[in-house]
Structure 1
Amino acid sequence: MRAHGTPLTTLADARVTLLDLALGVPGPDRRWHGPAGTAGGRSPDPADRRPLLGEPLALDLLNTRWDAPAGTRDLLDDLDGYRIWLSSAGLAGLCPADGAALSATRHTREALQATLSPPYDQRRPGRAPADPDAVREVDRLLGRGALRYRLTADGPATTVEVDDPAWLAGWLALDDYLQLLGTAPERIRSCAGPHRLPLWFLDTSRNGMRRWCSMAECGNRAKAARHYRRLRAEQPAARGGARVAVG
């Protein structure tokens, strides 16, 4: 492998994982630090107008395509949108932002999307990705990169090595997907709302029963629709009960 190295450093008492990078908010015993010791983190780019932000990196990549009143929107349609996504994902300055990288990331998104078929709910044990060809393609893309662990004078260090820097963002997203499958597969969900394109989220609710990408949007619309259907069902009964027999 002709390695393109991207350094990630970790505290001496915590093994780095790329899920830390993707989530931005580390677990209780893990912290990710970016290049030159800069604290890692994610905050949405002000220009990012997608309906769902801040999900783990793999799911956030899938959410770069979404439904809008005017039709399907795609943040990765052009380089400006790709740079916005890199900024929101916390990858600006870490991953290339040129045409080759955009093409590689779009390909990665297609391969990842093909492994998931909405409505997707992994609460059922043993649920497998839908498309074996997509699984093989994701596995092939993962082979384009690797993690290298080293000991330096400053302590443990980890380097992401990819055979072509254009694939770095996509490889990080796929690594994050594997982290999610390894730690919380039952929490990967697609929104139960009436989306032509699904929005994906990691269910972090206490009871693990979240159904909507947003309660304020899809959840409230579903509640309103149920309420309307209930009223419609009750109205005929109410009209029938109001009749008075005349002898």
Structure 2
Amino acid sequence: MSQTSDEGLLLALLNTTPTVEGVRVDRLADPEDARAWVREHTGGDIQEDVALLRATRDTLKALVDGEAEATALAPALDGVSYRAAIGDTGIDWELAAPAEHALAARAAVAWDALRHSAPGRVRRCGNTEECSLFLIDHSKSNSARWCSMAGCGNRMKARRHYERRKRTRSEP
């Protein structure tokens, strides 16, 4: 898998607890929903250890928030290594992980790659009152604040505009 697709997997895993109509939902809590999520991200029906996947997600969230140490990812990385794949154009390194926690391992490795290549680029949406999603900031200036400009970005900008107008109307 490519680093970009694994960044997408990392973000998708972090965002498995969205806030829907003011209530936090866990897409990995129900076994059927979890299997559907795993199928969606593997293209097949693999036997991912969903409890470990949830624990890895929670650890990754804590790491992004600065509330955990990287050693907490040890269960997701148990038995994981890289193996060389030699082709006509050179050597590629492929992640080798036990099938029951391949997604957890890929997400953990993607987080670590971003931690090194783009520190501080994985973060929570700035709309903390209504949103529980994360984003990976790929902007040149590292200034992205919202999970979605169309959703949270517009709501936050409209809220600030309303507050400014309200203040100017109440001033003497």
Fold shared, TM-score > 0.5 on shorter chain: yes
Q: Partner of 1:68 in structure 2?
A: 20
Distance, in Å, in 2 between the alignment partners of 1:140 and 1:97 is: 16
- For the pair 1:115 / 2:115, whether they are aligned, the reply is no
Match of 2:137 among 198, 203, 211: 203
Map 1:99-114; keep pairs closer than 5 Å: 101-114=49-62
Q: Partner of 1:130 in structure 2?
A: 67
SS, match of residue 130 in structure 1: coil
Q: What is the CA deviation profile of residues 49-94 of structure 1, one whole-angstrom value per residue up to 9, with x for unaligned ones?
A: xxxxxxx3222211011111151111112233223323443x223x
Distance, in Å, in 1 between the alignment partners of 2:30 and 2:100 is: 15
Q: Partner of 1:167 in structure 2?
A: 101
- For the pair 1:85 / 2:37, whether they are aligned, the reply is yes
TM-score normalised over the length of structure 2: 0.83
- Gaps spanning 5+ residues in structure 1: where? 1-7, 9-17, 24-55, 118-128, 241-247
Q: How many residues align?
A: 172
Query: CA-atom RMSD, angstroms?
Result: 2.7
Q: Aligned in 2, Cα 1:208/1:154: closer, same or farther, shift over 3 Å?
A: closer
- For the pair 1:19 / 2:3, whether they are aligned, the reply is yes
Distance, in Å, in 2 between the alignment partners of 1:235 and 1:159 is: 61
Q: Aligned in 2, Cα 1:151/1:236: closer, same or farther, shift over 3 Å?
A: closer
Give the Å deviation of 1:160. Answer: 3.3
Q: Partner of 2:148 in structure 1?
A: 214
Distance, in Å, in 2 between the alignment partners of 1:64 and 1:232 is: 36
Structure with greater proportional helix content: 2
Give the Å deviation of 1:196. Answer: 6.3
Q: What is the CA deviation profile of residues 86-141 of structure 1, one whole-angstrom value per residue up to 9, with x for unaligned ones?
A: 3443x223x7246xx21221121122122122xxxxxxxxxxx3323xx2221453
TM-score normalised over the length of structure 1: 0.60
SS, match of residue 148 in structure 1: strand
Whether the aligned pair in 2 keeps the contact of 1:144 and 1:171 (CA below 8 Å) is no
Distance, in Å, in 2 between the alignment partners of 1:168 and 1:197 is: 28
Give the Å deviation of 1:186. Answer: 3.1
- Gaps spanning 5+ residues in structure 2: where? none
